[in-house]
Amino acid sequence: MAIKDFGTRRVRRSWTPLILSAVAVVGTLGAFAFTVADLARFEQENGVKRQPTPAQRARYAPVARAEWRQVRAHLEARLNQRSPLELGAVWATRTGQVCGLVNGRGSFGGLTAMARFYTVDQRPVFHRDVEHVAFQKAWFECRRDQYVMLHDGTMEPGFCGTELGKRRCFKVKNGVRVE
């Protein structure tokens, strides 16, 4: 490439720096485009799944309720308590898995906090039953696929999600109590 030096003489310059700069700019823009596309795909794959249509809900709800009756019997047997279970939100996923929160009694008879559970073959699985990462991954899948709601209730785990906790806990926003 020939470049004039203020119109007086011609200097021969190499194309290499221009080509390398162009490749760097195109590579950076391409990497940015692929990153944005990959991030969009990741968000779509891991976002909350679409709610069922009324026809789908009407078709699947009886099956989910029948599944819930069996799961509830296993849950009551597993927690082994005389008083009725205090349930938080309970729902069924598209795959037929039942997930939710339950407040049971501990081994000494005292109330525990709202504990998350999901089912495997209609048997409840709690956090202490499996490895932490496996439980969190399964719970994440449960949370993003609330297909049929079986019992309305709190989604807050811990003591403040219980009936007693609702009377004793209060909401705080920016350090100030909110009613």
Check pLDDT > 80 for residue 124. Answer: yes
Considering the chain, what is the average pLDDT of its residues?
85
Distance CA 152, CA 122 (A): 20
* pLDDT tens digit sequence for 4-61: 666 666 667 788 888 889 999 999 988 888 888 888 887 777 777 888 888 988 899 9
State the pTM of this model. Answer: 0.70
At residue 112 the predicted structure's pLDDT band, cuts being 50, 70 and 90, is confident
Residue 29 makes CB contacts below 8 A (sequence gap 6+) with none
Q: What's the pLDDT score for residue 109?
A: 55
In whole angstroms, what is the distance from residue 126 CA to residue 113 CA?
Answer: 13
Residue 117 has pLDDT above 90, yes or no: yes
**DSSP letter for each residue of 82-117:** SSPPEEEEEEE-TTS-EEEEEE-B-TTS-B--BEEE
Which residues are within 8 A (CB) of 154 and not within 5 positions of it... i.e. 6 or more apart? 88, 89, 101, 114, 161, 166
Q: Give pLDDT, residue 165.
A: 82
Confidence of residue 93 (pLDDT cuts 50, 70, 90): very high
